[in-house]
């Protein structure tokens, strides 16, 4: 098994990522966007006999003069089906060869749900995994709708009857910067954090066709915007990233309609999976219930390993 760092082409990466249905954190555009904002990123390619076995993208950070940390979130992407023994070797090789000044630590939050996964037997878990909701968009619309919780579906029906105009915004920054400003205001008032809002514009513009990297839907009532949602697209999957609603939007259940229309639109684009961006039933119980109510699969990942 051989490894090369920062030599793989974007075309090869995108192709593998697409076929694997890879997470946003392993998308080339994710790393490129963070690099533009000054966050170091390293990409590894593991091969054997000229065949690509796995790809792994690390986001790096150095804490003062103490140590460096490189995090591979929802990776590696296993391009080939590897035995647990080969996966153990792959993790070891990635940690040993990481091109980052010592002292440094390589951390993995892999795309697996079992903390006892045999491929991780030489790794130590240092943090429990996060939980999200995933929607299988390959299902027929009637099956998707049938999986909704009853109250969620009733609110959707009410929103469909409310006469709201659903508008698809473009990828021009002037068309969505207002939504990012609303997101900043929400973070300040509710004390929660996320990627810098500047990341969104960098991500959307990271490829030659920005309109294919984002879906932004806005709900208008009598020509006044009352709610909006922004989804980032990565290969054959998409991730819910930003949502906003005012009192009128909440009163008309606009988010239910926006999320349903997003599922329809993404499905028509050939997107197979929608990740609703994580849930936290303790500090964000209302938002979590809303996401679960759509009827997707609740997934808890194994955690972070070193």
**pLDDT for the residue 261:** 98
**pLDDT for the residue 208:** 87
Average pLDDT estimate for 187-214: 92
Average pLDDT estimate for 239-266: 98
Continuous segment of H or E residues that includes residue 58: strand 51-63
User: Does 145 score more than 90 pLDDT?
Assistant: yes
Q: How far apart are CA 239 and CA 242, in angstroms?
A: 10
The CATH code that applies to domain 2-123 is: 3.40.630.30
Contacts of 172 (CB under 8 A, 6+ apart): none
The reply to whether 2-123 and 132-300 are identical in fold is: yes
Largest alpha-carbon pair distance within the chain? 63
Percent residues over pLDDT 90 in the chain = 94
Angle of CA points 289, 26, 243, to nearest 5°:
35
Average pLDDT estimate for 145-158: 98
User: How many Cβ atoms are within 10 Å of 216's Cβ, its own excluded?
Assistant: 23
Average pLDDT estimate for 40-61: 97
What pTM was estimated for this model as a whole? 0.96
User: Does 65 score more than 80 pLDDT?
Assistant: no
Give which of 80, 38, 78, 89 is closest to 59, Cα–Cα: 38
Residue 283 or 25, more confident: 25
Q: Given CATH 3.50.50.60, say whether it is the number of domain 132-300.
A: no
User: Does 215 score more than 80 pLDDT?
Assistant: yes
**pLDDT for the residue 284:** 84
Q: Give residue limits of the domains in the chain.
A: 2-123, 132-300
User: Does 61 score more than 90 pLDDT?
Assistant: yes
Confidence class of residue 282 from pLDDT cuts 50, 70 and 90?
confident
Q: Residue 142 class from Cβ within 10 Å (0-12 exposed, 13-18 middle, 19+ buried)?
A: exposed
**pLDDT for the residue 281:** 87
Percent residues over pLDDT 70 in the chain = 100
**pLDDT for the residue 283:** 79
């Amino acid at each position: 098994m051989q490894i090369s760092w920062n030599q793989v082409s974007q075309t090869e990466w995108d192709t593998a990522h697409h076929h694997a249905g890879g997470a946003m954190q392993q998308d080339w555009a994710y790393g490129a966007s963070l690099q533009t904002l000054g966050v170091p990123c390293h990409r590894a390619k593991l091969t054997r006999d000229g065949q690509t076995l796995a790809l792994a993208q690390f986001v790096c950070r150095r804490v003062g003069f103490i140590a460096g940390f490189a995090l591979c979130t929802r990776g590696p992407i296993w391009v080939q089906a590897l035995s647990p023994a080969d996966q153990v070797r792959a993790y070891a090789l990635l940690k040993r060869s990481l091109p980052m000044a010592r002292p440094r630590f390589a951390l993995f939050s892999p795309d697996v749900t079992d903390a006892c996964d045999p491929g991780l037997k030489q790794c130590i878990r240092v943090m429990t995994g996060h939980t999200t909701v995933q929607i299988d968009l390959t299902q027929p619309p009637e099956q998707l709708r049938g999986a909704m919780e009853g109250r969620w579906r009733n609110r959707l029906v009410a929103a469909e009857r409310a006469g709201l105009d659903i508008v698809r915004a473009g990828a021009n920054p002037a068309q969505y910067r207002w939504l990012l400003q609303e997101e900043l205001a929400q973070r300040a008032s509710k004390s929660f954090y996320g990627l810098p809002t500047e990341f969104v514009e960098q991500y959307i513009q990271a490829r030659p066709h920005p309109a294919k990297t984002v879906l932004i839907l806005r709900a208008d009532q009598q020509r006044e915007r009352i709610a909006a949602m922004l989804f980032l697209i990565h290969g054959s999957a998409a991730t819910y990233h930003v949502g906003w609603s005012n009192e009128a939007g909440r009163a008309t259940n606009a988010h239910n309609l926006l999320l349903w229309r997003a599922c329809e639109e993404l499905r028509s684009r050939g997107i197979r999976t929608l990740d609703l961006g994580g849930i936290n039933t303790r500090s964000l119980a209302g938002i979590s219930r809303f996401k679960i109510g759509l009827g997707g699969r609740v997934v808890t990942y194994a955690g972070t390993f070193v």
